[in-house]
Protein backbone atom coordinates (compact mmCIF):
# COMPACT_ATOMS: atom_id res chain seq x y z
CA UNK A 1 0.00 0.00 0.00
CA UNK A 2 1.30 3.46 -0.86
CA UNK A 3 0.08 6.80 0.32
CA UNK A 4 0.46 10.19 -1.21
CA UNK A 5 0.90 12.98 1.30
CA UNK A 6 2.64 16.32 0.91
CA UNK A 7 6.30 15.53 1.45
CA UNK A 8 5.66 11.77 1.68
CA UNK A 9 4.61 10.70 -1.83
CA UNK A 10 4.96 7.04 -2.72
CA UNK A 11 6.04 5.66 0.64
CA UNK A 12 5.48 1.96 1.35
CA UNK A 13 3.18 2.35 4.33
CA UNK A 14 2.57 -1.39 4.50
CA UNK A 15 6.30 -1.98 4.93
CA UNK A 16 6.47 0.76 7.54
CA UNK A 17 3.60 -0.81 9.47
CA UNK A 18 5.39 -4.17 9.26
CA UNK A 19 8.24 -2.67 11.31
CA UNK A 20 5.82 -1.56 14.03
CA UNK A 21 3.95 -4.88 13.87
CA UNK A 22 7.19 -6.85 14.41
CA UNK A 23 7.87 -4.69 17.45
CA UNK A 24 4.38 -5.46 18.79
CA UNK A 25 4.98 -9.19 18.28
CA UNK A 26 8.28 -8.86 20.15
CA UNK A 27 6.47 -7.28 23.09
CA UNK A 28 3.89 -10.07 23.06
CA UNK A 29 6.64 -12.70 22.93
CA UNK A 30 8.26 -11.03 25.96
CA UNK A 31 4.99 -11.21 27.90
CA UNK A 32 4.12 -7.56 27.35
CA UNK A 33 1.37 -5.52 25.76
CA UNK A 34 1.53 -5.93 21.97
CA UNK A 35 1.92 -2.36 20.80
CA UNK A 36 4.76 -1.43 18.48
CA UNK A 37 5.82 1.78 16.82
CA UNK A 38 8.47 3.17 14.51
CA UNK A 39 9.58 6.69 13.65
CA UNK A 40 10.53 7.33 10.03
CA UNK A 41 12.12 10.23 8.20
CA UNK A 42 10.10 11.88 5.41
CA UNK A 43 11.83 9.68 2.82
CA UNK A 44 10.88 6.49 4.67
CA UNK A 45 14.24 5.91 6.36
CA UNK A 46 13.76 4.17 9.71
CA UNK A 47 14.97 6.41 12.54
CA UNK A 48 13.96 4.23 15.47
CA UNK A 49 11.57 1.47 16.49
CA UNK A 50 10.27 0.24 19.81
CA UNK A 51 7.52 -1.60 21.61
CA UNK A 52 5.50 -1.28 24.76
CA UNK A 53 7.73 -2.44 27.63
CA UNK A 54 5.47 -1.34 30.44
CA UNK A 55 5.14 -4.86 31.86
CA UNK A 56 8.65 -6.08 31.04
CA UNK A 57 10.44 -3.03 32.49
CA UNK A 58 7.84 -2.24 35.18
CA UNK A 59 7.85 1.25 33.65
CA UNK A 60 4.51 2.96 33.07
CA UNK A 61 6.12 5.40 30.61
CA UNK A 62 7.54 2.71 28.29
CA UNK A 63 4.89 2.87 25.58
CA UNK A 64 5.57 1.79 22.00
CA UNK A 65 5.67 5.33 20.64
CA UNK A 66 7.93 6.62 23.41
CA UNK A 67 10.33 3.72 22.91
CA UNK A 68 10.48 4.37 19.15
CA UNK A 69 11.03 8.07 19.83
CA UNK A 70 13.87 7.31 22.25
CA UNK A 71 15.45 4.85 19.82
CA UNK A 72 15.42 7.51 17.08
CA UNK A 73 17.60 9.83 19.13
CA UNK A 74 17.68 13.59 18.73
CA UNK A 75 16.37 15.07 15.50
CA UNK A 76 16.70 18.71 14.50
CA UNK A 77 13.14 18.84 13.16
CA UNK A 78 10.36 16.34 13.81
CA UNK A 79 7.85 18.06 11.50
CA UNK A 80 8.57 15.89 8.46
CA UNK A 81 8.78 12.65 10.46
CA UNK A 82 6.18 9.89 10.43
CA UNK A 83 5.20 7.94 13.54
CA UNK A 84 3.78 4.55 12.63
CA UNK A 85 2.04 2.68 15.43
CA UNK A 86 0.00 -0.50 15.62
CA UNK A 87 -2.64 1.11 17.85
CA UNK A 88 -4.17 4.56 18.19
CA UNK A 89 -1.83 6.59 20.41
CA UNK A 90 -2.98 7.18 23.97
CA UNK A 91 -3.11 10.71 25.35
CA UNK A 92 0.41 10.38 26.75
CA UNK A 93 1.85 9.43 23.37
CA UNK A 94 -0.36 11.95 21.57
CA UNK A 95 1.19 14.59 23.82
CA UNK A 96 4.67 13.48 22.78
CA UNK A 97 3.65 13.70 19.11
CA UNK A 98 2.35 17.26 19.62
CA UNK A 99 5.19 18.38 21.89
CA UNK A 100 7.79 17.56 19.26
CA UNK A 101 5.69 18.43 16.21
CA UNK A 102 5.68 15.03 14.52
CA UNK A 103 3.76 15.80 11.32
CA UNK A 104 2.20 12.47 10.39
CA UNK A 105 0.86 9.52 12.37
CA UNK A 106 -0.04 6.23 10.69
CA UNK A 107 -2.19 3.94 12.86
CA UNK A 108 -2.57 0.21 12.32
CA UNK A 109 -5.96 0.04 14.04
CA UNK A 110 -8.18 2.08 16.33
CA UNK A 111 -11.05 -0.28 17.12
CA UNK A 112 -9.43 -1.71 20.27
CA UNK A 113 -8.61 1.76 21.56
CA UNK A 114 -9.27 5.27 20.28
CA UNK A 115 -6.80 7.72 21.71
CA UNK A 116 -6.00 11.34 20.91
CA UNK A 117 -6.56 11.13 17.15
CA UNK A 118 -9.14 13.91 16.94
CA UNK A 119 -6.99 16.20 19.07
CA UNK A 120 -3.96 15.49 16.88
CA UNK A 121 -5.97 16.30 13.73
CA UNK A 122 -7.28 19.51 15.31
CA UNK A 123 -3.67 20.58 15.79
CA UNK A 124 -2.58 19.91 12.22
CA UNK A 125 -1.18 16.39 12.50
CA UNK A 126 -1.95 14.20 9.48
CA UNK A 127 -3.55 11.03 10.91
CA UNK A 128 -4.04 7.96 8.73
CA UNK A 129 -5.82 4.84 10.03
CA UNK A 130 -5.11 1.66 8.08
CA UNK A 131 -7.62 -0.70 9.77
CA UNK A 132 -5.05 -3.49 9.66
CA UNK A 133 -6.63 -6.84 10.57
CA UNK A 134 -3.38 -8.27 12.01
CA UNK A 135 -3.06 -5.39 14.46
CA UNK A 136 -6.73 -5.56 15.45
CA UNK A 137 -6.67 -9.32 16.01
CA UNK A 138 -3.46 -9.26 18.05
CA UNK A 139 -4.73 -6.44 20.27
CA UNK A 140 -8.26 -7.77 20.78
CA UNK A 141 -6.89 -11.21 21.67
CA UNK A 142 -4.49 -9.66 24.17
CA UNK A 143 -7.20 -7.52 25.78
CA UNK A 144 -9.53 -10.52 26.13
CA UNK A 145 -6.79 -12.57 27.81
CA UNK A 146 -5.34 -9.75 29.96
CA UNK A 147 -8.07 -7.23 30.82
CA UNK A 148 -6.50 -6.09 34.11
CA UNK A 149 -3.11 -5.35 32.55
CA UNK A 150 -4.77 -3.60 29.61
CA UNK A 151 -6.94 -1.44 31.87
CA UNK A 152 -3.87 -0.52 33.88
CA UNK A 153 -2.09 0.51 30.68
CA UNK A 154 -4.88 2.83 29.58
CA UNK A 155 -5.43 4.24 33.06
CA UNK A 156 -8.66 2.51 34.02
CA UNK A 157 -8.78 1.89 37.76
CA UNK A 158 -9.51 -1.67 38.87
CA UNK A 159 -13.12 -2.31 39.87
CA UNK A 160 -11.92 -4.26 42.89
CA UNK A 161 -9.59 -2.27 45.14
CA UNK A 162 -8.14 -5.56 46.42
CA UNK A 163 -6.56 -6.35 43.05
CA UNK A 164 -2.83 -6.78 43.51
CA UNK A 165 -0.35 -5.19 41.13
CA UNK A 166 2.23 -7.63 39.81
Alpha-carbon distances of 69 from 5, 25, 84, 107, rounded to whole Å: 22, 18, 11, 15
- Catalytic one of 23, 30, 65, 164: 65
What are the contacts of 72-80 at 24+ separation with CB within 8 A? 72/39, 72/47, 72/48, 73/47, 73/48, 75/47, 77/101, 78/102, 78/103, 79/103, 80/7, 80/41, 80/42
65 is a catalytic site residue: yes
What are the two backbone dihedrals, phi and then psi, of residue 130, each rounded to the nearest 5 degrees? -90, -15
Residues belonging to the active site: 65
Amino acid sequence: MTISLPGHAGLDVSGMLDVAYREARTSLDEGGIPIGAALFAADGTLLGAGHNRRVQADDPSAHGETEAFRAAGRQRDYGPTIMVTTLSPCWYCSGLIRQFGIGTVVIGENTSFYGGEDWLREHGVEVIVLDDERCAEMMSSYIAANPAVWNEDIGVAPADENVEMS
